[in-house]
Amino acid sequence: MVIAAPRYLQESDRHSGRFDLPGAVCSTLGMALLVCRIVRSADAGWTDPVTIVSLAVGLLLLVLLVTNERRAEQPIMPLRLFRSRERSGAYAARILFLGAMMGFWFFSTQYLQVVHGYTALQAGLGFLPMTVVNFAVAVAVPRLTARYGNGLLLAGGLVLTLIGMAWLTRLSAGSDYLSGVALPMVLIGAGQGATLSPLTAAGIAGASAQDAGAASGLVNVAHQLGGSLGLGILVTIFATVGTSPLTGSDLLAHRVSVALTAGSVMLALALITVISLIVRPLERDDVWDGGLVVTPAAAAGAQLAADPSGRRTR
């Protein structure tokens, strides 16, 4: 791809500008504080003064980020990108999806190595059923999109992933690899393969050439932020699960099950977000225009401008 890019991709025009340093600093420090403090709360608790102050500062920095982006001449994150219901839904769903998936990778590895006694190599090979199916479905995504549409394929992928994750929540110390781990992984692999590409497409849908780079950047931000923030939340849940009478591998399996249950909730929220903001049929009188919902009045005005005679057509 790198070799072919100069030949087949048209170089965009270069433009000089001013780097949005306040936006970059506020976004980076704000999210870093949130993630670090969420992880810290697993040991220190939510009443820890350092945790409270850090969370407050992190949220304040994010508020300053939004304020700065509204006023910046060349914002690093143009707020107009969120006017599109489809793009906003894609960003939110990607954060939730990646949070759940990072938890799946992390806790499934813990389970295989601690409960089943797998070596690191064996645990890696244990994910093979998922990765093979993931690759096969990802390759078929262009054909599936042409047949079912981007939104429907995205919702279907999330459903498969949710079913597989919910299946994994039944893990216990006595679960066998085939029925307890491998088969759910097949569903998760198929779901992930059918989800990520449509999420990316929805995240840049309708963006102008001017905002294409920023929209693509937001897709990557949602991807990385979802993984770090989601894993931080799930690790906190894992660490705070009551010990009860369980010990050893029984206790770890129970904690993994609870963490994956929280991951299933994230996937369910992602599915609801996708159905509500991307797949949900528009109101009968609404019209889509470049990813934005146009009211009937606006649509009529545009039609009148196109047809000066004033004739109305349905």
Handedness of CA 220, 195, 263, 171 (dihedral sign): negative
Cβ partners under 8 Å of residue 250, min gap 6? 172, 173
In the chain, where are the structural domains located? 20-77, 82-283
CATH superfamily of 82-283: MFS general substrate transporter like domains (1.20.1250.20)
Q: What is the DSSP string of 280-293?
A: SPPPTT-EEETTEE
**pLDDT at residue number 135:** 95
Looking from the CA of 49 toward its CB, the CA atoms found within 13 Å total 0
The answer to whether 93 and 273 are in contact (CB under 8 A) is yes
Low-confidence ranges of the chain (pLDDT < 50): 281-314
- Helix, strand, coil percentages, rounded to 5, for the chain: 75, 0, 25
Radius of gyration of the chain (CA): 23
**pLDDT at residue number 126:** 94
**pLDDT at residue number 76:** 86
pTM: 0.81
Cα 199 to Cα 289: distance, rounded to the nearest angstrom: 19
Q: Helix H segments across 169-288?
A: 177, 183-204, 212-240, 248-274
The answer to whether 251 and 124 are in contact (CB under 8 A) is no
**pLDDT at residue number 244:** 65
The answer to whether 247 and 120 are in contact (CB under 8 A) is no
Cα 277 to Cα 283: distance, rounded to the nearest angstrom: 12
Q: pLDDT of 45-87, one tens digit each?
A: 667 788 788 889 989 999 999 999 988 888 888 899 898 899 9
